[in-house]
């Protein structure tokens, strides 16, 4: 894997299409002076912008722009980096890229230059120690951020907030491991490890610190991934109206005709900076209409994948036998859904209804009553959505995180709990304690890339944009 990272690389670093400015970026472990001379016709001072003509093979100007040289190791990748800032027309940038590749082929040290793969510049920054893996992922997260809160949190992660938290945990674990290993390696010293080093107390404090980091990481993962919310229920209970009310736009068609929505309609909104990916689905019922039947099947598929399912009820039809039977059928099938993912929503609170039936209705403790038409109760629904997803405000600024970070911390916590159980034994099995601490240390290392398989790195960086 590492051999291909010795090749010089180049790519267009700006988004496809027309723009005022476009950038071609090159990175090489070898000196770029021969290429710079052929393209720019002069030498470049490090980290200084030079306005000049970019020349083709005949000496004619391809374009005029800025050239910046960042010699190794003081560059983004840790290698020699050249950035060419030209006008942002796609033809101009392709001509510049082709000229760079042609010049490289003329010089033995640069003959292996090739087009960069997605994320390869950042991957080289990671491999050359300019960023750890969590920071490298934060680069992509900052680019892809869909809310202001996500962008700010990604910036904190890029600055090392998550890495710093993990580093503190790692240092504490290393000290514990050193004490345990010393006891195992020098039993003749008769070190009373548990009492003198307060191993159990250290483990307890470390577990509490780990729990706090895990909680903050879960919040960061919500900022990045968002929450998948599905609106479910019988036809005409107000699912499309609720989607429109939450989105603040007429996204879904609303009519009194049952079965109007036949396919999934989705929209991303934000609540307190958390992205919510909300999907309106076809009304859940038995139907002879082939198209609607396909839509209902897709509704159930979406329910299976949702983080939160809003089961909508129509307060205006409470007490109607056919309606109650339909709700009971849906409720029976939804019994397979984790109750923590299910939120009961009673819509159309503004409509007249069978008052006796409504008075006899016993709502679940966490149910929400609202009117998608008037907007009454929407604030309560937004708060309930965040609560069901596990979101809560934290006192300090959040850092962006990924699900793999959460899973790594959970594995760390599992090994820490096992280590505590071993430490409480009399006498403790120090070899088992040492092994659980080692496994916890390895799980932490996965977050920053101290212990990373090549296939994991390939998966992470392949999702970056080309040129980054």
Q: Determine the pLDDT at residue 306.
A: 84
Q: Spell out the domains of the chain, with CATH numbers in brackets.
A: 2-130 (3.30.1360.120), 144-222+399-461 (1.20.120.430), 227-389 (3.40.50.300)
pLDDT at residue 252 greater than cutoff 60: no
Q: Is 236 annotated as a binding residue?
A: yes
pLDDT at residue 242 greater than cutoff 90: no
Q: Is 241 annotated as a binding residue?
A: yes
What is the rounded average pLDDT of the residues 398-418? 91
Whole-number Cα distances in Å, 405 to 18, 52, 465: 37, 46, 21
Question: Mean pLDDT score of the chain, rounded to an integer?
Answer: 84
Q: How many Å apart are CA 331 and CA 21, to the nearest integer? A: 56
Where would I find the H helices in 248-289?
none
Per residue in 315-335, pLDDT tens? 888 878 888 888 888 888 888
Q: Is 287 annotated as a binding residue?
A: no
Q: Is 258 annotated as a binding residue?
A: yes
Q: Is 83 annotated as a binding residue?
A: yes
Per residue in 349-390, pLDDT tens? 887 765 555 666 777 778 888 888 888 999 999 998 888 878
Q: Determine the pLDDT at residue 264.
A: 61
**Strand 114-115 with 9-12, pairing:** parallel
Per residue in 274-288, pLDDT tens? 888 888 877 665 555
Q: Is 240 annotated as a binding residue?
A: yes
pLDDT, greater one: 457 or 186: 457
Q: How many Å apart are CA 87 and CA 24, to the nearest integer? A: 11
Q: Is 130 annotated as a binding residue?
A: yes
Q: Is 25 annotated as a binding residue?
A: yes
Q: Is 280 annotated as a binding residue?
A: yes
Q: Is 283 annotated as a binding residue?
A: yes
CA dihedral 357→359→365→366, nearest 10 degrees, is 70
Q: Determine the pLDDT at residue 307.
A: 87
Give the DSSP H or E segment for 68: strand 61-70
Q: Is 261 annotated as a binding residue?
A: yes
Q: Is 348 annotated as a binding residue?
A: yes
Q: How many Å apart are CA 179 and CA 429, to the nearest integer? A: 14
Question: Residues near 265 by Cβ (< 8 Å), separated by ≥ 6?
Answer: 240, 243, 251, 252, 279, 280
Q: Is 197 annotated as a binding residue?
A: no
> What is the band of 193 on the pLDDT scale with cuts at 50, 70, 90?
low
Q: Is 238 annotated as a binding residue?
A: yes
Q: Is 282 annotated as a binding residue?
A: yes
């Amino acid at each position: 894997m590492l051999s291909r990272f010795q090749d010089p690389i180049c790519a267009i670093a700006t988004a496809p299409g027309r723009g005022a400015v476009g950038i071609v970026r090159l990175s090489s472990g070898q000196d770029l002076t021969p290429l710079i001379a052929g393209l720019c016709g002069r030498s470049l001072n490090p980290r200084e912008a030079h306005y000049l003509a970019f020349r083709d093979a005949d000496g004619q100007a391809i374009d005029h722009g800025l050239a910046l040289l960042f010699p190794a190791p003081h560059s983004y990748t840790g290698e020699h980096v050249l950035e060419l800032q030209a006008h942002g027309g796609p033809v101009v940038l392709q001509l510049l890229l082709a000229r760079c590749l042609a010049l490289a082929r003329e010089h033995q040290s640069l003959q292996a230059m090739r087009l960069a793969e997605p994320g390869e510049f950042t991957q080289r920054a990671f491999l050359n120690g300019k960023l750890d893996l969590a920071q490298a992922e934060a680069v992509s997260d900052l680019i892809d951020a869909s809310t202001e809160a996500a962008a700010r949190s990604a910036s904190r992660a890029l600055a090392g907030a998550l890495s710093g938290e993990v580093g503190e945990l790692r240092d504490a674990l290393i000290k514990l491991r050193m004490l345990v290993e010393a006891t195992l390696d020098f039993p003749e010293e008769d070190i009373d490890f548990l009492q003198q080093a307060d191993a159990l107390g250290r483990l307890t404090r470390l577990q509490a610190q780990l729990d706090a980091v895990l909680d903050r990481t879960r919040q960061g993962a919500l900022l990045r991934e968002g929450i998948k919310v599905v609106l479910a229920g019988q036809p005409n209970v107000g699912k499309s109206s609720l989607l429109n009310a939450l989105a603040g736009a007429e996204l879904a068609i609303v009519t009194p005709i049952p079965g109007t929505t036949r396919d999934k309609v989705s929209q991303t909104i934000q609540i307190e900076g958390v992205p919510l990916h909300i999907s309106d689905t076809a009304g859940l019922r038995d139907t002879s209409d082939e198209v609607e039947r396909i839509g209902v099947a897709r509704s159930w598929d979406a329910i299976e994948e949702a983080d939160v399912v809003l089961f909508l009820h129509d307060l205006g039809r409470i007490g109607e036998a056919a309606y109650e039977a339909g709700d009971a059928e849906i409720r029976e099938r939804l019994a397979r859904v984790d109750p923590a993912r299910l939120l009961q929503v009673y819509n159309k609170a503004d409509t007249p209804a069978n008052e006796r039936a409504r008075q006899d209705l016993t709502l679940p403790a966490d149910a929400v009553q609202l009117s998608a038409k008037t907007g009454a109760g929407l604030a309560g629904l937004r708060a309930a959505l965040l609560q069901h997803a596990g979101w809560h405000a934290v006192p300090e600024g959040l850092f962006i995180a990924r699900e793999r970070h959460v899973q790594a911390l959970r594995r760390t916590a599992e090994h820490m709990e096992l280590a505590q159980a071993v430490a409480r034994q009399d006498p403790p099995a120090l070899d088992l304690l040492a092994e659980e601490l080692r496994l916890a240390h390895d799980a932490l290392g996965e977050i920053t890339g101290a212990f990373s398989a090549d296939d994991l790195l390939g998966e992470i960086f392949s999702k970056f944009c080309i040129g980054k």
